[in-house]
């Protein structure tokens, strides 16, 4: 007998199954793609000539390596914590030279700190990856994966993937309200500006859909006026800054309406609403209930509320980052991110609509 067999299967077949299984270990695992701004950037901006970066200490002080990574956090950010819930390694920044071969199958992070819905948002940061380029990179990514595993497998990987999109805050903070009498604020009254950016956002999401995304978490903006940066610049007595709160109040309901419109046009729940405002407002109205001592003071910064300027080695730095909702003047601490991702996983429809992440992960794994 020339051909060795194992439970009746020819050895060569077993061998090819083994080779396939080790060549494409992640074919059955779900990939994860991340788009958006600094809330979800895993380090793309480290590779760019821009001032919007988090690549020096004390950023990363609580990361496993205790070194800065480009994440705007003391430790993990939202995408890392979602990857953990998916049982996957963290996505690499798309610009990372390490993102090649098998690592491509985990997914990729295309986010870039400073960007917004509009191309002119974050203009002061110069060279960042604006949305048209993030989507172009996603197309290039798919070509690379096709080269690795064939076009139909690549398509399947994208179709079954989870996508996170976090966009919009900078269109207010780093555009409309960046300076008094900004170009956009002279062009549009706030309600008209919100309508304009929602219509542009809709085009971005349709492009993402046309590139194959079929399960997309879309975060609303948090309570923008309550960030330490805004308290430091715009608040008299520590109350959240009214204009930015009004902006978030106009933006979120129109975003959710637009997602509903897209879903009904497509005929499927492709876009999932993530109520970030509700998640953050829980901490802000009762920080102690979540084990925080402050939702107003940033852990790292200077000036009132530690809300002025950048977080650098010269800044005030709190001893225990877990006690603060905000790590720096704009970005949540790792512990706040953990609670947010927990709410994404198990939250009621008030937090996640029409379903939470644990439902999505269970449902889509049956496909």
C-beta of 145: minimal distance to ligand NAG in Å? 24
Q: How many angstroms separate the CA atoms of 161 and 105, rounded?
A: 10
**Candidate list 5, 264, 320, 349; residue touching ligand NAG; CB under 6 A:** 349
Nearer to ligand NAG, 134 or 166 (CB): 134
**Candidate list 264, 346, 365, 367; residue touching ligand NAG; CB under 6 A:** 346
C-beta of 282: minimal distance to ligand NAG in Å? 16
Which range touches ligand NAG (CB under 6 A), out of 141-149, 172-180, 270-278, 344-352? 344-352
C-beta of 272: minimal distance to ligand NAG in Å? 11
Site map (CB under 6 A) of ligand NAG, residues 117-146, x = contact: -xx------------x--------------
Other Cβ atoms less than 10 A from the Cβ of 149: the count is: 17
- Phi and psi, residue 159, nearest 5°: -60, -40
Query: Between helices 334-346 and 276-285, what is the axis angle to 10°?
Result: 120
Q: How many angstroms separate the CA atoms of 272 and 163, rounded?
A: 10
Q: How many angstroms separate the CA atoms of 306 and 268, rounded?
A: 44
- Nearest alpha carbon to residue 114 among 190, 197, 45: 45
C-beta of 164: minimal distance to ligand NAG in Å? 18
**Candidate list 14, 178, 359, 364; residue touching ligand NAG; CB under 6 A:** 359
C-beta of 128: minimal distance to ligand NAG in Å? 13
Show which residues are catalytic. 38, 328, 331
Q: How many angstroms separate the CA atoms of 90 and 93, rounded?
A: 9
SS3 letters across 213-249? CCCEEEECCCCHHHCHHHHHHHCCCCCCCHHHHHHHH
Q: How many angstroms separate the CA atoms of 175 and 39, rounded?
A: 17
Number of H helices, E strands in the chain: 12, 10
Q: How many angstroms separate the CA atoms of 69 and 59, rounded?
A: 8
**Candidate list 27, 123, 310, 355; residue touching ligand NAG; CB under 6 A:** 355
Distance of CA 98 to the CA centre of its chain: 20
Site map (CB under 6 A) of ligand NAG, residues 198-227, x = contact: --x---------------------------
Question: Within 141-200, which residues bind ligand NAG (CB under 6 A)?
Answer: 200
Nearer to ligand NAG, 200 or 364 (CB): 200
Which range touches ligand NAG (CB under 6 A), out of 62-70, 172-180, 227-235, 346-354? 346-354
**Contact between 102 and ligand NAG (CB under 6 A)?**
no
Contact between 43 and 71 under an 8 Å Cβ cutoff? The reply is yes
Which range touches ligand NAG (CB under 6 A), out of 3-11, 151-159, 257-265, 354-362? 354-362
In total, the chain counts a number of residues equal to: 367
SS3 280: helix
C-beta of 171: minimal distance to ligand NAG in Å? 11
Which range touches ligand NAG (CB under 6 A), out of 56-64, 89-97, 261-269, 356-364? 356-364
Nearer to ligand NAG, 194 or 298 (CB): 194
Tell me which residues touch ligand NAG (CB under 6 A).
118-119, 132, 200, 346, 348-349, 355-356, 358-359
């Amino acid at each position: 007998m020339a051909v060795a067999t194992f439970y009746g299967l020819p050895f060569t077949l077993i061998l090819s199954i083994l080779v396939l299984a080790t060549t494409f270990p992640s074919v059955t695992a779900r990939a994860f793609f991340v788009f958006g701004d600094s809330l979800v950037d895993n380090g793309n901006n480290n590779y760019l000539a821009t001032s919007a970066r988090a690549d020096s200490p004390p950023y990363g002080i609580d990361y496993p390596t205790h070194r800065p990574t480009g994440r705007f956090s003391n430790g993990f950010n939202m995408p890392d914590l979602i990857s953990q819930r998916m049982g996957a390694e963290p996505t690499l920044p798309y610009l990372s030279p390490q993102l090649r071969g098998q690592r491509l199958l985990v997914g990729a992070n295309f986010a870039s700190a400073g960007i917004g819905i509009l191309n002119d948002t974050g203009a002061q940061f110069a060279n960042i990856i604006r949305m048209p380029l993030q989507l172009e990179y996603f197309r290039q990514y798919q070509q690379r994966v096709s080269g690795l595993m064939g076009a139909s497998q690549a398509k399947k990987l994208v179709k079954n993937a989870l996508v996170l999109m976090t966009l919009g805050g900078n269109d207010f903070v780093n555009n409309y309200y960046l300076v008094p009498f900004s170009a956009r604020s002279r062009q549009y009254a706030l309600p008209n500006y919100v309508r304009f950016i929602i219509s542009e956002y809709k085009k971005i999401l349709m492009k993402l859909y046309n590139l194959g995304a079929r399960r997309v978490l879309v975060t609303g903006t948090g309570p923008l006026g309550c960030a330490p940066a805004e308290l430091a610049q715009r608040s008299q007595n520590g109350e959240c800054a009214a204009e930015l709160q009004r902006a978030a109040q106009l933006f979120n309901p129109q975003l959710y309406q637009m997602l509903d419109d897209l879903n009904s046009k497509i005929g499927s729940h492709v876009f999932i609403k993530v109520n970030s405002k509700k998640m953050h407002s829980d901490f802000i109205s009762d920080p102690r209930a979540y084990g925080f001592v402050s939702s107003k003071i940033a852990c790292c910064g200077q000036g009132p509320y530690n809300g002025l300027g950048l977080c650098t080695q010269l800044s005030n730095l709190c001893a225990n980052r877990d006690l603060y909702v905000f790590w720096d003047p704009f970005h949540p601490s790792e512990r706040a991110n953990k609670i947010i991702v927990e709410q994404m996983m198990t939250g009621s429809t008030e937090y996640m609509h029409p379903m939470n992440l644990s439902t999505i992960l269970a449902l889509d794994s049956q496909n």
